[in-house]
Chain A
Amino acid sequence: MTPDNQVPALRVVGLSKTFGTKTVLRDVDLEVRKGETVVVIGASGSGKTTLLRCVSHLEIPDTGLVDVDGRSVGRVAIPGGWKDASERQLAIQRRGIGFVFQRFNLFPHLTALDNVAIGLRRVRGIAKKAARERAAEHLRKVFLTDHLDKRPAELSGGQQQRVAIARAIAMEPTIILFDEPTSALDPELVREVLDAIRVLAAGGMTSVIVTHEMSFARQVANRVIYMDEGAIVEQGTPVDLFGSPREPRTRRFLEHFTTPDAKAAP
């Protein structure tokens, strides 16, 4: 192992978040190795989205530490201690974290190609032509080569989400967070998006994926995490967690997803 591989892609320690009087994250610890695909499952309202948003500091956690590739996110070292990162410092720290949103959030005024190229140009400072060439390569990785000059409004939901994935991977972040990437899609479009993620995961992408697609989770996850009421209740390999969950709460949750296909599995 090279020393670089020993630094986890993501290390979260004691992450907590309360909205008003509602505690949504309770002291969450999480470590993700480089190249690992972690799937997070859990009931609606269990805090999955909030966990991802706090990791990327789109939401500022109340307490807890986030390190990406060994570097702090959300705070900066000062002589004798730490202080909260400014908006500007956060913008730089966030470059290690990609985010794929449930509702895609593509830039509607830009073409598919420019949605991907804009970060390369404006954030990475790559010249326009080179940025576009590179953007086209990333779009090819998500099986989009024919629609480069279309605006988001002209694309299907599945195509839009794949552009959003290309936009995230183009920045070459250490880790990409997916928040229910297929739950805003018509059923027939889910597959093309999951296939794209599967290929990227096989290619070494590090990711945390929140999803309700259990068969996808089985196939793609190195580890599955079950969350409830803002805490990680149980985690393990897909075989262990789906096959023989230890916690009653996990078992009860998984019963909602019992499909013929899941029953047949050992």
Chain B
Amino acid sequence: MSIDWTIIETAIPLLARGTVVTLQISVVAGILACMIGFTLGLAALSNIAALRWIVAAYVDFVRGTPLLIQVFLVFFALPVIGIRFDEIWAGIIALAFNTSAYIAETVRGGVGSVERGQTEAAKSIGMFRWQILTYILLPQALRPMVPPLTNELISMTKNTSLLSVISVYELTRAGQAIISVHFVPFEIYLLLALYYYALIKALSYLSRFIESRMPAL
């Protein structure tokens, strides 16, 4: 078989639009996921048992159910009880909540692995638990947390392709639209793979750059 170069020329600008949407979704969902994830992760380390239990149940639920079902829950099930989002926001919210559970685990693990003597020293000067977490433990855990956090965000970026099933016009959906008109799956899926690969590479490069700029302890 031979590659149809003209279709690739037509596809590149169309896929670029999808890439922009994928990027927008990834950035917004990523920021939300970090905010929610850090909050939940710290809550999991608080000394309020109810808070710890709620976070544990949430993480357990998210990890125990497929992302696709979570997307459907937000997009199809929530409207039934009167909470309605358009498909982009439904996708962003589902991805953010999904990823936040994994980030919460990373934060809990990272902060929890800071040596116990640090907590004791902070207690010995009279700090409250929340102060110990924010001023002593979290800053020390941040740098070692960058690689696992990057992995979560990379997974999330790849998972944006799932949003094609609720008709979000992101990269995968843009590709499928071209295929349905021209029937060129080989060229387009290959292109899609390359696009995603470039996105992910950029993300991991950015992460290594950030890590190298953070002070080693």
- Asked if B217 contacts A91 (CB within 8 A), the reply is no
User: Which partner residue on chain A sits nearest B139 by CB separation?
Assistant: A109
Interface residue? B158 (CB, 8 A) = no
Query: What B residues does A103 contact at CB under 8 A?
Result: 117
**Which A-chain residue is minimally distant from B120 (CB atoms)?**
A58
Contact B120 A123 (CB under 8 A): no
The answer on a CB contact under 8 Å between B121 and A101 is yes
* Set of chain A residues within 8 Å of B131, measured between Cβ atoms: 122-123
Asked if B121 and A107 make an inter-chain contact with CB atoms under 8 angstroms apart, the answer reads yes
Asked if B126 CB lies within 8 Å of chain A CBs, one says yes
> Size band of the A side of the interface?
20 to 34
Interface size on B, residues (CB 8 A): 20
Contacts of A95 in B (CB 8 A): 125-126
Count how many pairs of residues, one from A and one from B, have CB atoms less than 8 Å apart in the complex.
Answer: 68
B124 in complex: contacting residue of A56, A87, A122, CB < 8 Å: A56
List residues 80-137 of chain B with CB under 8 A from any CB of chain A.
117-118, 120-129, 131, 135-136
Q: Let me know if B117 and A87 touch, CB within 8 A.
A: no
A107 and B131 CA atoms in complex are apart in Å by: 13
Q: Does B70 contact A (CB under 8 A)?
A: no
Q: What per-residue 1/0 map shows which CB atoms of A229-250 lie under 8 Å from chain B?
A: 0000000000000000000000
Asked if residues B126 and A108 are in contact (CB atoms below 8 Å), the reply is no
Asked if B120 and A91 make an inter-chain contact with CB atoms under 8 angstroms apart, the answer reads no
Give the distance in Å from the alpha carbon of A107 to the alpha carbon of B119 in the complex.
10
B215 in the interface (beta carbon within 8 A): yes
Task: Please indicate the chain B residues that have their CB under 8 angstroms from the CB of A99 in the complex.
Answer: 120-121, 124
**CB of A97 within 8 Å of the partner chain:** yes
Quick check: B120 and A168 within 8 Å, CB to CB? no
Query: Does B140 sit at the interface, judged by CB under 8 A?
Result: yes
A107 to B, closest residue via Cβ: B136
A136 within 8 A of B: no
Known: A87-B47, A118-B135, A153-B217. A107 touches B118 (CB 8 A): yes
Residues on A lying within 8 angstroms of B by beta carbon are 56, 58, 87-88, 91-92, 94-95, 97-99, 101, 103, 105-109, 118-119, 122-123, 151, 153, 164, 167-168, 171
Could you give 21 example pairs across A and B, Cβ below 8 Å? A58-B120, A58-B123, A87-B128, A87-B129, A91-B123, A94-B123, A94-B126, A95-B125, A99-B121, A101-B117, A101-B120, A101-B124, A103-B117, A105-B120, A105-B121, A107-B122, A107-B136, A108-B217, A122-B131, A123-B125, A151-B217
